[in-house]
Amino acid sequence: MSEPTPATAPTATHSMKAPAPAKYDFFGVVQGYLDEAAKLINLPEYIRVILSQPKNEFIVHFPVKMDNGDVRLFKGYRIQHNNVLGPYKGGIRYHQDVSLDDVKALAAMMTWKCALMNLPYGGGKGGVKFDPRSVSRGELQRITRRFFHGLGDNIGPETDIPAPDVGTNGQTMAWAMDTYMNMTGQKGRQAVKGVVTGKPVASGGTIGREKATGQGLVHCITYWANENDFNLEGSTMTVQGFGNVGSHTSVILSKLGVSTIAVGDHSGYLYNPEGFNPHKLQEHVKKTGAIAGYSGGKAISREEFFKIKTDIFAPCALENQIGVDEARSLNCRIVGEGANGPCSPEGEKILLEKGITILPDVLANAGGVTVSYFEWIQNKRSESWSLDEVDERLEKAMRRAWKETTEMARSKKSSLRIAAYAVALHRIAQVYAEREIFP
Ligand code: NAP
């Protein structure tokens, strides 16, 4: 990350203690994109104002008995940004840095993402502030159950539908669903499976959900390659974050002949000019929780990682990873945003000036929520679709969103990010115009 800017310059009267670093204003950044896109399409001001803040913000504090007998108090968030198109939809993050403003930013992005993908959903996001690696499996289960108990009926299959995000997975969703079912009267239990998506297949999940975000990103990279006469076969990529999104992107792209030559996560960065075996690396991460200790590459620094010459760079970790320094270092053709908000606005400006194409998060990582929607429909209808059916529907949905975004960018001469926001805003604005404001 680039050097943090001091919040205040030290003066003679201040102590010599280092000033606190300015916090990255993620919500402010996302609001800035909203304002830019609103201007681009002349969005009525009252709609921009409504969309500039979430509809509901829940903060819950809940106690959990830890393995050693101590009771620890946790803080959880659920932000419901907008539901004009349908129930709130968005992931739950478990991470030590989770904050209200970041969850607000992520919830707003879900509103744009669902609208862009033409899903009957609004946007939401949640999280609990703790390091999931620091607790036992039993503690993780109790934290999840108490959190979802705390959210109570503020969520529900027709109200607000969580899913996995950083630090959570199918197992977390199975516990969440079971908790919600246990809070539902006996007679209604089987009807509420769709309260969360991203569940394991046996517990009501859909085939194809685990890889869906990576798959959607690969579709976008493929469309870009086709439109730019770029041959993916024999090309290279670097990936930051080798969790769900990063590892599946790497595995799927390897089948198209793309070689992953450098990877990184919080435990460090590895380089292998011959290309990693993404399946083996994925297995290693599943077993050990990190890329550290994998024998197939040379350890490099974060700075070296960002300087590696590559065709595709896929940031698949966290927000604000590509600031000014990283953008100046990057030597690639495209940045495919698997993560939400990985480029800071300053970083993005530099990348665009360097002629690097950015496939923006709200489009590039929308495969996950799209297949979550397929899971929700299957739950409603008590159906199980085949992988072919899920993959086919996902490809169609990604292709349509790609076409609408690139056409908007061409006609309005905007970046792909602002174009994607603009397509989403158009859809939302139409509904506000038709329904008007209550009362
Ligand atoms: P995940 O499975 O928990 O993986 C996150 C990855 O990021 C891990 O490899 C993690 O490494 C790495 N990471 C965390 N902090 C880092 C840091 N400071 N520097 C470098 N690497 C770091 O989460 P995920 O579901 O793949 O989500 C990744 C991103 O994709 C997030 O921005 C998320 O919002 C977005 N996204 C996810 C989905 C989905 O379906 N899951 C859908 C759309 C968007 P460690 O494990 O070593 O910390």
* pLDDT bracket for residue 20 (50, 70, 90): low
pLDDT value for 210? 95
Is a pLDDT exceeding 50 seen at residue 9? no
Say which amino acid occupies 341: G
Higher pLDDT, 267 or 17: 267
Tell me the average pLDDT across 180-190. 93
Buried b (16+ CB within 10 A) or exposed e, 306-329: bebebbbbbbbbbbbbbbebbbeb
Quote the tokens at residue 206.
Answer: 């859909």
Q: Quick one: 68 exposed, middle or buried, by C-beta within 10 A (0-12, 13-18, 19+)?
A: exposed
Q: What are the residue boundaries of the structural domains of the chain, listed by start? A: 1-40+210-367+389-439, 51-203
* pLDDT given for residue 296 in this prediction: 86
122-161, pLDDT tens digit by residue? 999 999 999 999 999 999 999 999 999 999 999 999 999 9
What's the average model confidence in pLDDT over 198-218?
98
Nearest Cα residue to atom 35 of ligand 1: 339
* H or E stretch at 280: helix 278-288
Rounded to the nearest angstrom, the distance between the alpha carbon of 285 and the centre of ligand 1 is 12
Q: Which residue matches tokens 């075996």?
A: 277
- Distance from chain centroid for Cα 85: 20
Q: What is the pLDDT of residues 349-358, one digit of tens each?
A: 999 999 999 9
**pLDDT tens per residue across span 386-426:** 999 999 999 999 999 999 999 999 999 999 999 999 999 99
Contact residues of ligand 1, CB 6 A cut-off? 164-167, 213, 240-246, 264-267, 290, 316-318, 338-340, 365, 368
| 105-119: pLDDT as tens digits | 999 999 999 999 999
Report d(CA 95, CA 85) in Å as an integer: 29
Cα–Cα distance measured from residue 170 to residue 104, given in angstroms and rounded to the nearest whole number: 23
Which CATH superfamily is 51-203 part of?
Leucine Dehydrogenase, chain A, domain 1 (3.40.50.10860)
Q: Do 1-40+210-367+389-439 and 51-203 share a fold?
A: yes
Place of tokens 């929780």: 289
Determine the pLDDT at residue 19. Answer: 60
CA distance 439 to 432: 13
DSSP assignment, residue 86? S
Smallest Cα–Cα separation from 26: which of 313, 340, 326? Answer: 340
* Cα 182 to ligand 1 centre (Å): 30
Q: Which CATH code fits 1-40+210-367+389-439?
A: 3.40.50.720
Mean pLDDT of 207-227: 98
Q: How much is the average pLDDT of 202-215?
A: 97
pLDDT for residue 4: 39
d(CA 315, ligand 1 centre) in Å: 9
Mean pLDDT value of segment 172-186: 96
Residue of minimum CA distance from atom 17 in ligand 1:
266
Q: For residue 3, is pLDDT > 70?
A: no
How far is Cα 80 from Cα 260, in angstroms, rounded to an integer? 37
Does the pLDDT value for residue 12 go beyond 50?
no
Give bridge partners of residue 343 from the DSSP assignment: 322
Residues above pLDDT 70, as percent of the chain: 95
The whole-angstrom separation of Cα 425 and Cα 3 is 34
Q: State the chain's mean pLDDT as an integer.
A: 95
Closest residue by CA, ligand 1 atom 30: 339
Choose the weakest-confidence range: 16-20, 258-262, 291-295, 429-433. Answer: 16-20
Task: Return the ligand 1 atom nearest residue 265 CA.
Answer: 21
- Decide if pLDDT at 5 tops 70: no
What was the pLDDT predicted at 13? Answer: 37
